[in-house]
A and B are shown apart, each in its own frame.
Chain A
Amino acid sequence: MSPNPRLRFLSGNEACAEGALAAGCRFYAGYPITPSTEIAEILSLRLPQLGGKFIQMEDEIASIAAVIGASIGGLKAMTATSGPGFSLMQENIGFAAMAEIPCVIVDVQRTGPSTGLPTQPAQGDVMQARWGTHGDHPIIALAPSTVRECFDLTVRAFNLSERYRTPVIVLMDADVAHLREKVELPAPGTFEVVERLRPGVPPDWYAPYSESEGPVPPLATFGTGYRFHITGLFHDIHGFPTTRLDEINPAIERVFGKIEHHLADILQWEEFAMEGAEMAVVAYGSVARAALRAVKEARQQGLAAGLVKLLTLWPFPEMYIAQLAERCRLLVVPEMNLGQLVLEVERAACGRARVRRVNRADGAIITPAQILAALREE
């Protein structure tokens, strides 16, 4: 019997690279940084085999710039980095949000601030993913907790970025990136791959920022006859700079609306042992693995505890957490930081449930015992 070719023993970084290729990524620009470097190494080998292109840029600022440039040239494009590089990318992530250029940014989080602990995991970039670039902007961020999810959520990141013409961030962490698991990757054709909407109108009619065809305008590729202007300045429906309030305000409304009006498509979470649960652990990323173990042990000990694993961190699933706070008397939020996403949980719970934090930011992982202790402590 021949072995199943889809059954692999992969690390999270390897699965992320596989996911990118499966989603149709054909351009990667990046700068070496631990613990994300394997993604670049794999894609430097694999992309040219598929006719795609890889470039190692001079820094992370240039990397995200080249990614946006390639996306304007019609390719699905990605970069991967870690905290220090993610900080450098922020200005151009804002450009991608403002100019509505699809791209995927993988941030394999390590302990910070600054150089911190380069080889140790963390979840310290949750708020940077949301607010790292200046000014108000919508953003999508996804957090995988297993190797399979590194594949799935990278595919999903490309799909969401193409569908909503927006940068999408995959918030991995050093743990899930370097963890190896047996994983069966889905066969091509068995999962969704989204392509950005291209203009159906003749070039003279094309307005790259008009909502006449819906909240997400089609995006023409440079060099295909649709000449238009792209800028980080506030712009009118043609892309030309404007300071007119009657052009700026509808633009802001549309750009936020394209995310806010599609939460059902964008938000993803999973529940474990939530039937009759009076307490819930709200976790994401590699910490959700420890949380699952803690919840299983809690159930064995007779505690009515369940797990909510968030796959979409931004936009935050506010309504869902509000409802969860109605159902449960206690929400435990373990994070490898000193309390970031818990601020959103507390805001959404709004006093309807107690919210208990479990934090560490010293490079060590949060154990099931720590989470279990938080569930037991009444």
Chain B
Amino acid sequence: MERKVLADVERHYLRTIKKFPTVWCAGCGLGIIMGGIIRAIDSLALDNDEVAMISGIGCTGRMPVYLDFNTLHTTHGRALAFATGLKMARPDLKVIVVMGDGDALAIGGNHFIHACRRNIDITAIIVNNMTYGMTGGQYSPTTPQWDFATTAPYGNLEQPFDIAELARHAGASFVARTSAYHTTELPKLVAQGIAKRGFAVIEVISHCHTNYGKLNRKGGAVEMLQWQRDHVIPLSRYEKLSPEERAGKIPRGVLFEKEAPEYVSEYEKIIARAMAEAGREEA
């Protein structure tokens, strides 16, 4: 399919009535990320009708309302569980789940590891801004240790999750990472994740300059995007660094991929077997 100009792509996938402006702060990474997801879907030439986008609660949770797909804005942390039921009922749908770090890994952490373990054909995009933005900057499961948050006035005592490592070891079959800054890499990784038959996790490092950035003197949106440019580096380059040089750097790109049986298609085989056996008993 011939690539349309960006404005056409956006018009094709955005809901135009009543939804804009977004709830997001000026300078937020979520607009960039939403644009990247749209371009990924466009690059796969997917029809609006065959995409379902599901979210939980938080700033990222508001994304589906702006997009002209089958959209479901669920309860806090539970998007993957809703998505699991929907995917089983409608295996033909491309099911994309967008979550923030608190949504996916704190309140939804249990659902996250079990979705990875089942290797169900869902694409999970986790926007990691290392804080609870919507509630005003509390520490999350990915807030760096000793950084400040409104609930960590003495510094964050807890060590953060590494989303990619967690996903890989819990059984996801595609794990990638990029940042809001890397606007051309994001659509490619999301498209690869959607195309992958199995559970795909794409972590997108983003910024909450309004809360996390302000509390930790990281500057505004521009400075935080520059930080992403300088610190979120290609995996190939990261691997060449010594352990000392790796400190403070975060690898991006496809971090892990494997071929593994997919949950719903395996369940379809169970159905075929059960129906055949039941048929034999009847006869």
Contact = CB atoms under 8 A, between A and B. Distances in A.
Interface of A: 27, 29, 45, 48-53, 55, 57-59, 61-63, 65-75, 77, 91-92, 95, 221-225, 227-233, 240-241
Contacts of B50: 223
A49 B52 CA distance: 28
B19 interface: yes
A240 B90 contact: no
Interface in B68-114: 68-75, 78, 81-90, 92-93, 110-111, 114
A100 to B, nearest CB: 13
Describe A's contact surface by its main secondary structure.
mixed
Given A58-B111, A227-B69, A240-B18, A69 B278 contact: no
Contacts of A49: 274-275, 277-278
A268 to B, nearest CB: 30
Contact of B110 (A29, A58, A69): A58
Interface in B233-283: 267, 270-271, 273-275, 277-278
A28 B17 CA distance: 37
A232 B73 contact: yes
Describe B's contact surface by its main secondary structure.
helix
B84 A55 contact: yes
Contacts of A95: 74-75
B152 to A, nearest CB: 27
A225 to B, nearest CB: 5
Given A49-B278, A73-B90, A68 B68 contact: no
Nearest to A27: B89
Interface of B: 18-19, 48-50, 52, 54, 64-65, 68-75, 78, 81-90, 92-93, 110-111, 114, 267, 270-271, 273-275, 277-278
Contacts of B18: 240
B274 A66 contact: no
Closest 8 CB pairs of A and B: A73-B89, A69-B85, A66-B85, A65-B81, A48-B274, A62-B81, A70-B85, A69-B86
19 contacts: A27-B89, A48-B273, A49-B274, A49-B278, A51-B275, A53-B89, A55-B84, A58-B110, A58-B114, A69-B54, A69-B86, A73-B86, A73-B93, A74-B89, A91-B75, A221-B90, A222-B70, A222-B72, A231-B72
B84 A57 contact: yes
User: Which has the most chain A C-beta neighbours within 10 Å: B50, B54, B70, B267?
Assistant: B70
User: Which has the most chain A C-beta neighbours within 10 Å: B52, B68, B81, B267?
Assistant: B81
Contacts of A222: 52, 70, 72, 86, 90, 93
B86 A231 contact: no
A228 B86 contact: no
A291 B73 CA distance: 46
Nearest to B281: A49
B84 A223 contact: no
Contact of B75 (A27, A229, A232): A232
Contacts of A70: 85-86, 88-89
B122 to A, nearest CB: 11
